[in-house]
Chain A
Amino acid sequence: MTLNVADARPAGPAGAPPLLELRGISAAYEQVEVLHKVDLAVPTGKVMAVLGPNGAGKTTMLKVITGLHEPTGGDIFLAGRCVTGAAPVDLARIGLCSIPEGRGVFPNLTVSENLWMATYRGVSRKEIEEKVFPIFPRLKERRTQAAGTMSGGEQQMLAVARAIATNPAIILLDELSMGLAPLVVDQLYDVVGKIAETGVTVLLVEQFARTALAVADLAAVMSGGRILQVGTPDEIAGDLHSAYLGG
């Protein structure tokens, strides 16, 4: 693959294609369709938050984008180029960084080995550590500890560290806050906000709105496998109560 998403990053003229675009994506497990013609566009350099209740299909959507789950219909475009059906490895190597649901770390590898696994993008091991350790000093202290033995918050920091270190074009985050204390969540989203400020595009997915909306430029509501609404965080926050949180 020669496609390089990073090329598209310098914000083009107003008509430039969104960095990530889903057109009519449908997906199914076995015979049951769980995504019904999802359309979504994430503009270059923006943070998009997709909110939705449990089972809405958020994780499935991210799996489709990363290439781990094959869609039954529709196309995915990265920087204007169609990447439907591309192998997840290739997508990862061209700069699509995804942090899956749960803890995105290798439990039996040490912290430092976990970071080593992030070098497939071409960033050296040393560079990664130099970039990550100032932001998360906790990880430096635990360099030789097995990742699985750290606290949930520390593990999630390690997962996010990969996103910081590898200069991705776009970052996909699946429920970063799952099972973590609010304070830790705030800290993690703080870091996400800082990464976004450097011009990286972010697509994040959450069940609970508050922290996610604070860092987002755009927001969408997903339920029952469909995108119900797209708007600014304020608009979405206003409607959310009636949409599903209140009901």
Chain B
Amino acid sequence: MHEFIILTISGLVTGGIYAITAGGLTLTYTTTGIFNFAHGVTGALAAFTYWQLHFDWGWPVWLSIIVVLGILAPAFGVFLHFAIMRRLEGTSETTRLMVTVAVLLSLLATVMWVWDPQTPRNVVNFFPGESVDMAGTRVSYHDLITLAVALIVAIGLWVLLRSTRAGVAMRATVDDRNLAVLNGSRPEVPGMLAWATGTMLAAVAGILIAPKLSFAALPLTLLIVNAYAAAVIGRLKSLPWTFVGAMIIGLVTEYGKGYLTETRFPTAGPYLSGLTDSMPVLVLFLAIMLLPTSRLRGHASSRTREIAHRPTWTGSLVFAALVIAGAVVAANTLGAADLFASTKMWGFAIIALSVIPLVGYAGKMSLAQLGFAGIGAICVSHLGSGGNPLGLLWAALICAGIGVLVALPALRLSGIYLALATAAFAVMLDRWIFQLPAFTWGDTRIDLFNSGTLNFERFDWPGIDISSDRAYFIFGAVFFALSSLVVVWIRRGEFGRRLLAMKDSPAACATIGMNHKLTTLTVFGLSAAMAGVGGGILGGALGTLSPVNFDFTAGLSVLMLMVIAGLTSPGAALFAGIFLGTPLITNLFPDYAQLTTILIGLNGIALGKNPNGFIAAKIRPEWEPALQRPFILAGSAAAQLVLVVLRFTDVIGNWAFVIGILLAVIGIPAAVKGELMLKAPRTEQELPPGLSEQPEGLGLNGHRFKPADIEGLDKLIAMPSLPTVAMAETPSPTLPGARHGA
């Protein structure tokens, strides 16, 4: 009984912290329509700042608290609003979500950069040692404060959103910003207030929980995942339900920790310890699955400017050939250490490729692709022992099966709820399944992650030997190139059209009788299979893998890079592979280990501007004209060939080679531009009377229509000579169906 009371109290306290976090999340979601994945890391940032002020610099507690909660946190919220969130209006739910993921990644990296995780730090309770007696147990002041703050926050938020005009205006602004303005409500104020308050709440939660967790950035950041569950129980809008949900999750977690111990359950204990960690995630999964669909409607996503380019076969074959050719060259020029460090890029690239059909074409937000890669790696390691390539087939089949199983309950979810459900699945894999100790099932001993490390051998294909790094690198490139062609084949076929239709208008698809359930399940299975194979290829590259390779935040990076480069282009997957799987960035900037992540994050934050990714926005317009000019392409290819020959004969070194190749490549669009300029008429052409620009240029490139232009155009179109020209032809017989016939 005594133990029960202790556990109940600590459950309520933990629940209180979840309630504060979830309250802040709900506040920003209901008032700005943005689900802030970076909420947890904002709390971490605040906790570290508090540590810095109080424990490191010795400022008094009260002053540190006032500075962090009263000044820095709200100021940071206002900054977030003006610098990032305000620009997200009119973007799709995916973009809005990914921008906050980008904030998460870059803040997390910044925190780890400023406060080196290797140095141990400590934050102690408020009023250390002080406690009161309650029901025969001692409850610390810190816990009492936490509970009180949670209650005040819950009530305060409820009052704010329901019973103050500022709060009602916040909700009104999400509903219809223009209408709110027409009512006379200043549009900047609600958003700014919401972000300031939300960030402050994140900071409160971060500081209160810091003494309870091992004080490090990652656990504090992932605290958010636990709070999601509470926010979802409140359907992202009901604050009382959010509070209740937070308490339930806090209690379940603490009871689990207290009762599901090894002393009580000597056999099952080791398996359950991961389970108690992922308890909130289970609750999240259950909540999403059990809530009625009608309750799970996010904010309506407006029509967006996001499009999926239809790749041509020629272009795709050229891409695949270039990938393989580039890989052959790279494999023969890179130094041994760099080559080994780069073999893993193809694994990442294939995993990134698996994002395209699911998220890019079908618009189904999945945060679990790297988790599937982990499952694939397990399959390849266990079922493909000795480098048996059948392991890859098993990985594909098993991942497809699990993918379909995950998709089944997720069928009715979309947008933010689907993202959260897949996030829950990924976190569950990462915290629990991948950490499971060995167990026996019947006669089989199953040890998923070999208690920490999976071992791989390079695949043993009949006839070819790919055990060297060089050969494996080229093998990876070929595999990636073929996979990219599969993706293109999907996009160009009937199935791809269905996926796009489903993304554009699920309702319309239902009315034309499309079986969208089957389509969803298929695309989930397919993408999971591809990710699984990617995991296997990654394993082959590295030789050993541990659960860390598949952790949730690493998965976010993969998705993030895809979103930045463009969710629908195989080129984006190559980019993701190079970025994550080669030592390129660390070689360029050796002193900034966190730079990769920060760069990813900063690029993601800029997403609001190019929701189609930079490949579609920047690269394609530059390069497309080049494809029509074989001479220029051939010239560049010849130059590159010469460079390759020079490099292999050691006439030039690596740097000269890289710079030369870059010049030859960049030269293509430059040459095209030059050619266009040469072709362009040197002298001003006579403008038709009354026009300020050639008729075909009107309205383009910043030439606005002027009224005079319209009059001029009218005159142009009404040219009297036109019918005369037609008459001059031989008197043709009247064509049936001709518009002006007879």
Residues of A within 8 A of B (CB): 26, 28, 31-33, 36-37, 66, 68, 72, 88-89, 92-93, 97-98, 100, 104-109, 113, 116-121, 162
B175 near A109 with CB under 8 A, answer: yes
Measured between beta carbons, the chain A residues less than 8 angstroms from B710 are 33, 36
Interface stretch among B44-52, B179-187, B245-253, B556-564?
B179-187
A108–B33 Cα distance when bound, in Å, is 13
A121–B171 Cα distance when bound, in Å, is 19
A212–B185 Cα distance when bound, in Å, is 30
> Shortest CB–CB separation between residue B172 and chain A, in angstroms?
5
**26 A-B pairs (CB sep. < 8 Å):** A28-B704, A31-B700, A31-B704, A33-B705, A33-B710, A36-B710, A37-B707, A68-B178, A88-B178, A88-B181, A89-B186, A92-B182, A97-B182, A98-B182, A100-B178, A104-B182, A105-B179, A106-B175, A107-B175, A108-B174, A109-B171, A109-B175, A120-B183, A120-B185, A121-B184, A162-B183
Measured between beta carbons, the chain B residues less than 8 angstroms from A93 are 184
A116 near B705 with CB under 8 A, answer: no
Measured between beta carbons, the chain B residues less than 8 angstroms from A37 are 707
- Please name 20 further chain A to chain B contacts, defined as beta carbons within 8 Å, in addition to the given A72-B704, A121-B184, sorted by A numbering: A26-B707, A31-B699, A31-B700, A89-B187, A92-B181, A92-B183, A93-B184, A97-B182, A100-B178, A106-B180, A107-B175, A109-B168, A109-B175, A113-B172, A117-B169, A117-B180, A118-B183, A120-B183, A120-B184, A162-B183
A106–B186 Cα distance when bound, in Å, is 16
Does B176 sit at the interface, judged by CB under 8 A? yes
A98–B180 Cα distance when bound, in Å, is 11
With both beta carbons as reference points, the residue of chain A lying nearest to B300 in the complex is identified as A107
A149–B174 Cα distance when bound, in Å, is 17
With both beta carbons as reference points, the residue of chain B lying nearest to A116 in the complex is identified as B168
B182 near A36 with CB under 8 A, answer: no
> Shortest CB–CB separation between residue B376 and chain A, in angstroms?
42
> Shortest CB–CB separation between residue A61 and chain B, in angstroms?
15
With both beta carbons as reference points, the residue of chain B lying nearest to A162 in the complex is identified as B183
> Shortest CB–CB separation between residue B238 and chain A, in angstroms?
12
A117 near B705 with CB under 8 A, answer: no
Measured between beta carbons, the chain A residues less than 8 angstroms from B704 are 28, 31, 33, 72
From known contacts A32-B699, A89-B186, infer whether A109 and B172 are also in contact, taking CB-CB under 8 Å.
Answer: yes
> Shortest CB–CB separation between residue A155 and chain B, in angstroms?
12
Does B165 sit at the interface, judged by CB under 8 A? yes
Measured between beta carbons, the chain B residues less than 8 angstroms from A72 are 704
> Shortest CB–CB separation between residue A68 and chain B, in angstroms?
6
Measured between beta carbons, the chain B residues less than 8 angstroms from A66 are 182
Max count, chain B CB within 10 A of own CB: residue among A68, A93, A108, A162: A108
A36 near B175 with CB under 8 A, answer: no
A92–B183 Cα distance when bound, in Å, is 6
A106 near B179 with CB under 8 A, answer: yes
A105–B182 Cα distance when bound, in Å, is 11
Set A106, A113, A162: member contacting B176, Cβ < 8 A: A106
A28 near B184 with CB under 8 A, answer: no
Measured between beta carbons, the chain B residues less than 8 angstroms from A100 are 178-179, 182
> Shortest CB–CB separation between residue A136 and chain B, in angstroms?
18
Measured between beta carbons, the chain B residues less than 8 angstroms from A31 are 699-700, 703-705
Measured between beta carbons, the chain B residues less than 8 angstroms from A116 are 165, 168
A106 near B182 with CB under 8 A, answer: no
With both beta carbons as reference points, the residue of chain A lying nearest to B174 in the complex is identified as A108
Question: What 0/1 readout, one digit per residue, does chain B (190-216) give for beta carbons within 8 Å of chain A?
Answer: 000000000000000000000000000
A108–B173 Cα distance when bound, in Å, is 11
Interface SS majority for chain A: mixed
Question: What 0/1 readout, one digit per residue, does chain B (142-186) give for beta carbons within 8 Å of chain A?
Answer: 000000000000000000000001001101101110111111111
> Shortest CB–CB separation between residue B27 and chain A, in angstroms?
15
B707 near A106 with CB under 8 A, answer: no
From known contacts A89-B187, A100-B182, infer whether A36 and B707 are also in contact, taking CB-CB under 8 Å.
Answer: yes
Set B168, B178, B700, B703: member contacting A117, Cβ < 8 A: B168
A174–B181 Cα distance when bound, in Å, is 16
Q: Which 7 A-B pairs have the closest CB atoms?
A: A120-B184, A92-B184, A31-B699, A106-B175, A93-B184, A106-B172, A117-B183
A68–B183 Cα distance when bound, in Å, is 12
A194–B176 Cα distance when bound, in Å, is 28
> Shortest CB–CB separation between residue B10 and chain A, in angstroms?
37
> Shortest CB–CB separation between residue B208 and chain A, in angstroms?
31
B705 near A32 with CB under 8 A, answer: yes
Measured between beta carbons, the chain B residues less than 8 angstroms from A97 are 182
Measured between beta carbons, the chain A residues less than 8 angstroms from B183 are 92, 117-118, 120, 162
A40–B492 Cα distance when bound, in Å, is 52
A97–B184 Cα distance when bound, in Å, is 9
Max count, chain B CB within 10 A of own CB: residue among A26, A97, A118, A120: A120
Measured between beta carbons, the chain A residues less than 8 angstroms from B699 are 31-32
B181 near A68 with CB under 8 A, answer: yes
A104–B178 Cα distance when bound, in Å, is 10
Measured between beta carbons, the chain A residues less than 8 angstroms from B700 are 31
> Shortest CB–CB separation between residue A230 and chain B, in angstroms?
21
Measured between beta carbons, the chain B residues less than 8 angstroms from A36 are 707, 710
A100–B450 Cα distance when bound, in Å, is 64
A72–B706 Cα distance when bound, in Å, is 10
> Shortest CB–CB separation between residue B690 and chain A, in angstroms?
16
A26–B186 Cα distance when bound, in Å, is 27
Measured between beta carbons, the chain B residues less than 8 angstroms from A26 are 707
A92–B697 Cα distance when bound, in Å, is 39
A117 near B181 with CB under 8 A, answer: no
A5–B381 Cα distance when bound, in Å, is 78
Measured between beta carbons, the chain B residues less than 8 angstroms from A105 are 179
Max count, chain A CB within 10 A of own CB: residue among B175, B180, B186: B175
A26–B703 Cα distance when bound, in Å, is 16
Measured between beta carbons, the chain A residues less than 8 angstroms from B180 are 106, 117
> Shortest CB–CB separation between residue A190 and chain B, in angstroms?
24
Measured between beta carbons, the chain B residues less than 8 angstroms from A108 are 171, 174-175
> Shortest CB–CB separation between residue B582 and chain A, in angstroms?
41
Measured between beta carbons, the chain A residues less than 8 angstroms from B707 are 26, 36-37
B185 near A106 with CB under 8 A, answer: no
Set A33, A68, A107, A119: member contacting B165, Cβ < 8 A: A119
A185–B125 Cα distance when bound, in Å, is 65
Measured between beta carbons, the chain B residues less than 8 angstroms from A106 are 171-172, 175-176, 179-180
With both beta carbons as reference points, the residue of chain A lying nearest to B175 in the complex is identified as A106
Measured between beta carbons, the chain A residues less than 8 angstroms from B172 are 106, 109, 113, 117
Measured between beta carbons, the chain A residues less than 8 angstroms from B186 are 89
With both beta carbons as reference points, the residue of chain A lying nearest to B702 in the complex is identified as A31
A89–B185 Cα distance when bound, in Å, is 6
With both beta carbons as reference points, the residue of chain B lying nearest to A99 in the complex is identified as B182
Measured between beta carbons, the chain B residues less than 8 angstroms from A98 are 182
With both beta carbons as reference points, the residue of chain A lying nearest to B705 in the complex is identified as A33
> Shortest CB–CB separation between residue B339 and chain A, in angstroms?
50
> Shortest CB–CB separation between residue A1 and chain B, in angstroms?
12
With both beta carbons as reference points, the residue of chain B lying nearest to A113 in the complex is identified as B168
A89 near B184 with CB under 8 A, answer: yes
From known contacts A33-B705, A72-B704, infer whether A104 and B179 are also in contact, taking CB-CB under 8 Å.
Answer: yes
Measured between beta carbons, the chain B residues less than 8 angstroms from A107 are 175-176
Measured between beta carbons, the chain A residues less than 8 angstroms from B169 are 117
From known contacts A31-B700, A113-B168, A119-B165, infer whether A88 and B182 are also in contact, taking CB-CB under 8 Å.
Answer: yes
A109–B176 Cα distance when bound, in Å, is 11
A118–B180 Cα distance when bound, in Å, is 9
Measured between beta carbons, the chain A residues less than 8 angstroms from B181 are 68, 88-89, 92
Question: What 0/1 readout, one digit per residue, does chain B (588-620) give for beta carbons within 8 Å of chain A?
Answer: 000000000000000000000000000000000
B185 near A117 with CB under 8 A, answer: yes
> Shortest CB–CB separation between residue B166 and chain A, in angstroms?
11
Measured between beta carbons, the chain A residues less than 8 angstroms from B182 are 66, 68, 88, 92, 97-98, 100, 104
A93–B186 Cα distance when bound, in Å, is 10
A223–B180 Cα distance when bound, in Å, is 30
A105–B175 Cα distance when bound, in Å, is 9
Measured between beta carbons, the chain B residues less than 8 angstroms from A117 are 165, 168-169, 172, 180, 183, 185
Measured between beta carbons, the chain A residues less than 8 angstroms from B705 are 28, 31-33
